[in-house]
Structures are given as structure tokens and as C-alpha cells.
Chains A and B, each alone.
Chain A
Amino acid sequence: MLEGLANGLRWLGKRVNDRVWRLGFASRFLLMTLVYSGTALRRFFLTIREIYFTGVLSLIIILVSGLFVGMVLGLQGYDTLQRYGSSEALGVLVALSLVRELGPVVAALLFASRAGSAITAEIGLMKATEQLSAMEMMAVNPIARVVAPRFWAGVISMPLLAGLFSAMGVLGGYLVGVRLIGVDEGSFWSQMQASVDFSEDILNGVIKSFVFGIIVSWIAVFEGYDAEPTAEGVSGATTRTVVTSSLAILAADFILTAFMFRGT
């Protein structure tokens, strides 16, 4: 019986050890990416190209999701608020929910699934088909040429996508609340403007999406670079990107929210 317990602890210890070691490796990788970012910034076209693939191609999903989330907020919000006779506060509810939380978080989750997994798969496949090795042998640093532009593209795209998500959401809430249900248009906007503060709410939301962008981009490029150069390896890496990013985003969201919105 003791033997079994010892084995269990050994297994657990090994798993934790592996995770910690991998985290250390990933951190060093992030440092190298930042150090070698010179090329990505000097030859900005590389980064622009990646912004197209991560940001522009994510537009459709972000805009449509934002619209739908906003519309649902409008419906659900109205249903609850009108029970307390406060249906004019619908604008406030929709705007604050989006700008503070849903915009940054949901946009980041969508970004991780769409763009993050694509980045991981691309880098992983480049590793599997020896393209990264070939680049190394041609005296071009693959981290500078392949990894860094994708990392920065993700960091730049994320706040923009979150902003677009929130804006579309507000529009969706407006369409449902004012146009469909009939909440007063004037009070919808004026109460919203009175309650949503720039530095408290919007700026904090932007900071959040910036942090999420760093997290998702970091995980995506690392998993791709570290993937096993086989079919199963790449597929496992893309799954890990989506899962780890999502968990990290939600955890970071809690920490940031606790710091920013302490109820003062």
C-alpha cells in the first residue's frame, strides 16, 4: 500500500517537475523572442504580413460574435432590469459588461482559438518539414524571422480586436434594446455615457486585452516552436495552445479584475 502511495507521489512529482521545467524553458524563449525582435520591427513588412494573417482574418469572427453577444446582453439585460423598473439602465449594463469583461476576454478566447492555433500549427509544421533548420543553416535566425513577427502581430492585433468586439456589442445591444424592444434611445446613450468612465473602464479594458494578447501570442509561438516534428506532435501542440491560452486568459482576467475593480 505504501508502495502505491510512493509511486503516486513520484508520478505527481514528475508531472509537476516537467511543467515547471517547461515553464522555465518557455520564459527563456519569450526572452529570446523579445531580444531578437529587432528584425521584426526594422523590417516591418514581416510583421504587417502577420498582422494580416492573425488580425484581419479574425475580423469576421470577432465582429459577428461581438454583435451577437451584444444582442444577447440586450435581451437578457432588459429581461432582468425591467423587473426592477430600471430598463433605461440597459445601456449602462451592456456597455460596462462589454468594455470591462466580455470584450477583452471573449475576444481573446476567440483569438486564441482562431489565430493562436493557426500560428502554432504553422510554426510546428515549419519545424516538422525542416524549414526552421534550413533557415538556421542559411544563417538566418528563425526566432527573429519567423517567431518574433508573429508574436508582435498578435500583441498589436489583440487590443484592436477587443475594441471592435466591444463596439459591435454596444451596437448589438442598441439594436435589440432601442430598435427592437423600445427602450428610450436618449436614456440608453446618456446613462451609458454618464456611467462608463474612460480611465476606469475603457482604459482598463484595453490594458486587459493587451495583457491577454501577450499571453496568447507567447503560448502560441512557444507551442509551435516546441512541437514534436510529427503529425501527432503538431496536433497536440495546437490543442495545447487553445487550452492553455484559454485557462491563462481566465486566470489573468481574475487577477487583473481584482487589481483594477476593487469596488472603490
Chain B
Amino acid sequence: MNRLTLDLWVGFFVAIGLASLGFLALKVGNLSGSSMSDTYRLEAKFDNIGGLKVRAPIKSAGVVVGRVAEIRFDSEGYVAVVRMQVDGRYKFPRDTFATILTSGLLGEQYVGFEVGGEQDVLKDGDVIKKTQSAVVLEKLISQFMFSKAAGDDAGKQ
């Protein structure tokens, strides 16, 4: 086994090894989509964040525009404070609605931005005033049962 053949085979091995790692990174994972260069901070308060986790996406019109950076509990107002990093390319008006939505029926939760019509945009460090908490399944069911029971009573009378 002379040096040339050896070097050739080792080079080939290292090349396909790195190529496979590259394949995994690009085709299997989402490397290309996770780079956001310039971001600015926004905060929002929710009564209930449901199953929202850090690094959950922030979507507007279905497109990912940012990520949840931190989730804190505000012990004075007893609400959840969510800090978000939003891509600098996108500006949102001051009356944007931040809702916690579920992807699919039982999927992961994310923050959805629905825009209003104001001229002024949110700047770094601003707080989003209008928020809608997550839908908690148990409350939905009990609401349904309650309204069904009320409906039956109304029907009977």
C-alpha cells in the first residue's frame, strides 16, 4: 500500500464523510432557514401561554418572521411575559395582534401576528398591547358543555 493510494482513499473517505454531514445539515435539517441577522426585541403579555416554548416560531401570514427568545412570569400582574426576537427586515404596526395559535390540530404552538392599520411601527423594546391567549382544551370543553346544557334548558323551556 503506497502513499499515493493511501492518501487517495483517505481523501475519498473524508470527502464523503463531510458530504454526508453536509447532506444531513442542508437536506435533512433546516440549516438554511435558521439565520436571522438583524433582529429587534418585542414583548407581549399573555394570560395563558398554553404550550408555547422558547424558540417557537413567530409567524405572520404563515411566514416565519421571528423566534420566541424568553418566557417569564410577571409576579405583579400574574401574567406571562414573552420576549421575542423579530427579523429586522419586517416592521409591524403598533396595533398588531399577537395570538398564540396551534399548528394543525394537535401540533406545536407558535405566536401569530395579525396586523392592524396603524401607521406607526413597533420599535426595539416595544410592548405589543393587544394579545390573545392560547386556547386551553379543557376550558373549551367545559365551555361547550356549559353552553350545551344552557341550550338544552332553553330548548326545554
Q: Do chains A and B touch in the complex (CB under 8 A)?
A: yes
Q: Are B21 and A160 in contact (CB under 8 A)?
A: yes
Q: Are B28 and A99 in contact (CB under 8 A)?
A: yes
Which residues of A lie under 8 Å from residue B7 when comparing CB positions? 48
Q: Are A202 and B6 in contact (CB under 8 A)?
A: no
Which residues of A lie under 8 Å from residue B24 when comparing CB positions? 99, 163, 166-167, 170, 202
Q: How far is the CA of A227 from the CA of B76 in the complex (A)?
A: 67
Least distance between B39 CB and chain A CB atoms (Å): 17
Q: How far is the CA of A161 from the CA of B30 in the complex (A)?
A: 22
Q: Are A164 and B30 in contact (CB under 8 A)?
A: no
State which of A52-60, A115-123, A216-224 sits at the interface with chain B. A52-60
Q: Are B29 and A198 in contact (CB under 8 A)?
A: yes
Could you tell me the dominant secondary structure of chain B's interface residues?
A: helix
Q: How far is the CA of A56 from the CA of B12 in the complex (A)?
A: 9
**Is B72 among interface residues, defined by CB-CB distance under 8 A?**
no
Which residues of B lie under 8 Å from residue A48 when comparing CB positions? 6-7, 10
- Which range contains the number of A residues in contact with the other chain? 20 to 34
If the complex has contacts A95-B28, A99-B24, A167-B23, are A264 and B14 also in contact, measured as CB distance less than 8 A?
no
Which residues of B lie under 8 Å from residue A55 when comparing CB positions? 10, 13, 17
CB-defined interface of A139-152 with B at 8 Å, one 1/0 digit per residue? Answer: 00000000000000
**Is A10 among interface residues, defined by CB-CB distance under 8 A?**
no
Least distance between A17 CB and chain B CB atoms (Å): 42
If the complex has contacts A197-B29, A198-B30, are A160 and B14 also in contact, measured as CB distance less than 8 A?
yes
**Is B156 among interface residues, defined by CB-CB distance under 8 A?**
no
Q: How far is the CA of A170 from the CA of B21 in the complex (A)?
A: 12
Partner among B6, B13, B30, B54 whose Cβ is within 8 Å of the Cβ of A59: B13
**Is A206 among interface residues, defined by CB-CB distance under 8 A?**
yes
State which of A23-31, A128-136, A187-195, A245-253 sits at the interface with chain B. A187-195
Which residues of B lie under 8 Å from residue A168 when comparing CB positions? 20
Q: How far is the CA of A201 from the CA of B21 in the complex (A)?
A: 12
Which residues of A pack against B, CB within 8 Å?
A: 45, 48-49, 51-52, 55-56, 59, 95, 99, 156-157, 159-161, 163-164, 166-168, 170, 189, 192-194, 196-199, 201-202, 206, 264
Give me 10 A-to-B residue pairs in the complex whose CB atoms sit less than 8 angstroms apart, sorted by A's number.
A52-B13, A56-B10, A163-B24, A164-B20, A170-B24, A189-B27, A197-B30, A198-B29, A198-B31, A202-B28
